[in-house]
Amino acid sequence: MIKSNEGLIDRVVRVSVGAVALVAGMFWLGGTLQIVAYIVGALMSITGFMGFCGLYALLGIQTCSRSEKPLSVKQLFLLIVLYAILLIGGGIISNTITKKKFLEEYGKMNGYYKQTLFLTGQSKRNEAIANYESWKAAFAEFSSKYSTYKPFVFRNDKEFHNDLLKVSNILEDTKPGVYSGDLPVTHKKLEEVRPIFQSLFKRNGFSLFALTLTDFHDVMEKNIEAADAKDTEKVIKTYEESNKLLMQIEAESQTTDIKAIRTNLDDLLRLAKEGKKNELSKKAAELKSSFVKVYLQKG
């Protein structure tokens, strides 16, 4: 039997540090630091529960007094409980915080992207350039952090880093277009960013209001395309899909702006059924405008 050379306080500190290090490695760190955290966490946990430190033995150190008795069953049980609380509780809290932090940082970066997308669609070059530069800087910071570190919620996502690379490539490819090229063409190229992040969130189990908005956007574009082409049959046909997604949005929020989307979508359907082809394009523009207002705020 290995003789203990660690006192009770030493063992409590070790299992505590071990649990914290393992949580840090699992939820907060990436790359080399993550590996170091796992090694430290494992060593501290094992030596804390065993009550024996090999380094102490080599250096002739011990933190327990000669009269100190081995841990009782009750003390060992409490040590295990402490470890479990720190490990499980720390894991749950860390998962929540890192997920929230990721969404906040994504939201900040994505806000500049949405403005760039919107302004290129409006052919407002100077404003688009300013927002493009802000988006580029925000994405560089975002990508730098998450290129070596992956939040726990994305731990099994093998496409995570590849998605960031795709967005980076689109960002660089669209720079000439934003500064001096064809803005409508650049706008379409920039739209490729949104489904990349949309797919990332979906496959990792996120249920976000913004995802429903982007799903609705894709279908709404079909409505608008049909309206601009004065194709009443297609407007009627695509309405059902748009309506289902809009109902999901309405289930989560019933603001005045969302009600405006509903009014415009239903009016578009009514005009199509009444055969008022010449009014479809104008109403489609109103529908898109009402959607953009919500998307810029919450998307």
Domain boundaries, the chain: 8-71, 100-298
Mean pLDDT of the chain: 92
Confidence (pLDDT) at 217: 85
Measured from the Cβ of residue 218, the count of other Cβ atoms closer than 10 Å reads: 15
Least confident of 126-130, 212-216, 262-266: 212-216
- Confidence class of residue 216 from pLDDT cuts 50, 70 and 90? confident
- Confidence class of residue 232 from pLDDT cuts 50, 70 and 90? very high
- Confidence class of residue 218 from pLDDT cuts 50, 70 and 90? confident
CB 37 within 8 A of CB 105: no
CB burial readout 164-189, b (16+ within 10 A) else e = beebeebbeebeebbeeeebeebbeb
- Confidence class of residue 206 from pLDDT cuts 50, 70 and 90? confident
- Confidence class of residue 1 from pLDDT cuts 50, 70 and 90? low
Helix 90-121 with 125-146: angle, nearest 10 deg: 160
Confidence (pLDDT) at 211: 74
Measured from the Cβ of residue 288, the count of other Cβ atoms closer than 10 Å reads: 20
Residue 65 amino acid letter: S
pLDDT at 150 over 80: yes
